[in-house]
Structure 1
Amino acid sequence: MDMALLFLFPLLGLLAWNIESRIERVNRKVSRLERKIDLILDQLGLQEENPELARIADLARTGQKIKAIKAYREFTGEGLAEAKNAVERLATRA
């Protein structure tokens, strides 16, 4: 029984690491796709209709970028860098 545990724990660790790395890769791909969609919407002059994003954009336009970044991160689950870039894009939209 003890010998089985010696092999089981490292195997579970490798499995968890593999799953985590795959999730990180998928998250990066989704973030890239979201950025591309944002660029396409900007190019077409369209805006995503979402009251929460409108509130975040208002915060950014009124100089409350830190609050806007925090709200964006809570709303989307994005990381700090992605949220900062998104808030800057929202602030420049008319």
Structure 2
Amino acid sequence: MDIALAVLIIAVVLLLAAQLVGPRQDRSTPRRLAEIERRLQLVMDHLGVVDERPAPPGVREYLARGEKLKAIKAYRAATGTDLRTAKEAVEAMMGPLR
């Protein structure tokens, strides 16, 4: 009985340690990242800095034609992000086009 209890305690401790060491998914990370990107874009716009790196394929073209939903869809297809993150990223890209 004592051996079974000791094995059980060791197994529980190992499982808890594995949970602490494993990668953690913070649900607020994509939202926080989008906010940081939005603020960075505001600073870049204020300073007149132009990002030469192209947006994912088709996103800028859709935005130039005013097709925001298609731009979000293209962004999601190219990056694999969730809808909220893609929407925030596309809206951040809209800043220089306005």
The bucket for the TM-score relative to the shorter chain is 0.5 to 0.7
Question: Unmatched 5+ residue regions in structure 1?
Answer: none
Aligned match of 1:57: 60
Provide Cα deviations, 1:29-73, integer angstroms capped at 9, x if missing partner: 544332221111222343311233584122123243233113323
Mark the structure with the bigger radius of gyration: 2
Contact in 1 for aligned 2:34/2:89 (Cα 8 Å):
no
Number of aligned pairs? 91
Aligned match of 1:20: 24
Q: Which has the higher helix share?
A: 1
Question: Could you tell me the TM-score, scaled by structure 1's length?
Answer: 0.59
Letter in 1 for 2:74: A
Mean Cα deviation higher: 40-49 or 27-36: 27-36
The answer on 1:2 being equivalent to 2:39 is no
Question: Unmatched 5+ residue regions in structure 2?
Answer: 1-5
Distance 1:89 1:82 in 2: 11
Aligned match of 1:71: 74
Question: Could you tell me the TM-score, scaled by structure 2's length?
Answer: 0.58
Identical-residue share of aligned pairs (%) = 31
Contact in 2 for aligned 1:69/1:87 (Cα 8 Å):
yes
- Highest relative contact order (Cα 8 Å, sep 6+), 1 or 2? 2
